[in-house]
Chain A
Amino acid sequence: EVQLVESGGGLVQPGGSLRLSCAASGFTLSNNLMKWVRQAPGKGLEWVANINQDGSEKYYLDSVKGRFTIFRDNTKNSVYLQMNSLRAEDTAVYFCATLAIWGQGTLVTVSS
Chain B
Amino acid sequence: SYEVTQPPSVSVSPGHTATITCSGDALPKKYVYWYQQKSGQAPVLVIYEDSKRPTGIPERFSGSSSGTMATLTVSGAQVDDEADYYCYSADSSGNYWVFGGGTKLSVL
Contacts and interface: CB of A to CB of B under 8 A. Distances in A.
A44 B99 contact: yes
Contacts, number: 45
B33 A45 contact: no
Nearest to B44: A102
A59 B90 CA distance: 12
B101 A99 contact: no
Nearest to B55: A100
Contacts of A62: 1
A57 to B, nearest CB: 8
A44 B86 contact: yes
Interface of A: 35, 37, 44-47, 50, 57, 59, 61-62, 95, 97, 99-100, 102-105
12 contacts: A44-B101, A46-B99, A47-B97, A47-B99, A50-B97, A57-B95, A59-B95, A59-B97, A95-B43, A97-B43, A100-B45, A104-B42
